[in-house]
Amino acid sequence: MKDWRHWPCVMLVLIAGVMLAACSSDGGLSPSFDPENQKEYGLNGAYVGQNIKEAMDILQPDKADFMDMQTRESYTVDRMAAGEGNMVMGMMLVGRTQVMVMVERGVLQSIMLAGVPEEEAEKFKTNRGLTIYSSEQQLKELYGEAAGDKEIVYKGSKQEASFGIVNDQVVWFRFDRL
């Protein structure tokens, strides 16, 4: 490296690489479960704490109905995304599977999944990669150890994940904001 005129270019490339790595790492999941990262609490890339419009774009339901739990008023995704609705319950049909969500002022508060036909199980993965009908051992490999037999709960300071276990298989899960 006797030719020093290339050093500014080399330094720029190194700095750009470091900046890209730093920027890309804040949006993903760490190798082990982080109970304080809200993106851990979700399905197919949608997560609690996210705007309902963004979540709907990710989940792409075939059909969706939303109704305020107190007033029974129907809501559109656009109205909820704009911050309307105190506590809105949503039922979405994705293929033959029903996904339930709760939305407060446009923000996902809860995502629930159960009753998935076995042939559709691979279409619905937690953001960490767990599917319905995965084994309890797979759950613990992805999320870590936790107490419980029929219901295993992982809790952060602002979110909670619950997994239902029957015959050593995950048969339902639910992500909630606290």
Determine, yes or no, domain membership for 15.
no
Determine, yes or no, domain membership for 82.
yes
- pLDDT tens for the 178 residues of the chain, in order: 556 665 555 555 555 444 444 443 345 788 999 999 999 999 999 999 999 999 999 999 999 999 999 999 999 999 999 999 999 999 999 999 999 999 999 999 999 999 899 999 999 999 999 999 999 999 999 999 998 889 999 999 999 999 999 999 999 999 999 9
Q: Which alpha helices (H) appear in the chain, and where do they start and end?
A: 7-25, 52-59, 77-81, 136-143
Determine, yes or no, domain membership for 11.
no
| Nearest alpha carbon to residue 91 among 56, 119, 118 | 56
Determine, yes or no, domain membership for 29.
no
What residues are paired with 110 via a beta bridge? 102, 176
d(C-alpha 141, C-alpha 96), whole Å: 29
Domain that holds residue 87: 38-177
Determine, yes or no, domain membership for 2.
no
- The number of domains in the chain is 1
Determine, yes or no, domain membership for 21.
no
- 8 Å CB contact between 164 and 153: no
pTM (predicted TM-score): 0.81
